[in-house]
């Protein structure tokens, strides 16, 4: 939602690196978040395993959102320490999601192993993306 509003603002007046911010909020704040939370719950249903509790999933998504917003704001302000701090929060959220995935793998049901691999790939891809994004932010400051 924030990315859509920002895109409209960006169309009406120039904003330094505005399109980067729109893309970042759309992909990291939107698409990735939808794949992480609901994806984990769907995997739990497929595996016929207990899903993460509401507070646990809420914690992971709060970490992801705060990290996303911190990286976005700090990058726009060219404040590298904020980018690093936000990146650490994103990686912490991914570590928690990885722990949840390990619990799902240990569940008794053998359903959907390729979906588990796909989710694991998503976590690795996002972790690498955080590292690359942080390096690019450092380079472009």
Rounded distance between C-alpha atoms, residue 35 and residue 41, angstroms: 10
Q: What is the pTM of this model?
A: 0.84
Rounded distance between C-alpha atoms, residue 23 and residue 89, angstroms: 20
Rounded distance between C-alpha atoms, residue 53 and residue 72, angstroms: 29
Closest CA to 60 of 35, 93, 33: 93
Per residue of the chain (141 residues), give pLDDT as tens. Answer: 554 544 554 555 565 667 778 888 999 999 999 999 999 888 888 877 777 778 888 999 999 999 999 999 998 888 999 999 999 999 999 999 999 998 888 875 566 688 889 999 999 999 999 999 899 888 876
HSE of 72, CA atoms in CB hemisphere, 13 A? 21
- Cβ-based neighbours of 112, under 8 Å, separated by 6 or more: 43, 46, 47
HSE of 117, CA atoms in CB hemisphere, 13 A? 5
Contact assessment for residue 31 and residue 64, using Cβ atoms and an 8 Å cutoff:
no
């Amino acid at each position: 939602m924030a990315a859509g509003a920002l895109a409209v603002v960006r169309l009406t007046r120039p904003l330094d690196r505005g399109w980067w911010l729109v893309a970042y909020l759309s992909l990291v704040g939107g698409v990735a978040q939808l794949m992480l939370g609901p994806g984990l719950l769907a995997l739990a249903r497929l595996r016929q395993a207990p899903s993460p509790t509401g507070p646990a999933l809420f914690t992971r998504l709060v970490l992801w959102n705060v990290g996303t917003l911190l990286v976005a704001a700090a990058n726009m302000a060219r404040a590298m320490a904020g980018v690093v701090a936000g990146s650490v929060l994103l990686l912490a959220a991914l570590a928690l999601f990885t722990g949840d995935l390990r619990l799902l793998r240990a569940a008794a049901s053998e359903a959907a192993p390729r979906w588990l691999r796909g989710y694991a790939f998503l976590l690795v891809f996002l972790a690498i993306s955080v590292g690359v994004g942080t390096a690019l932010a450092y380079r472009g400051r």
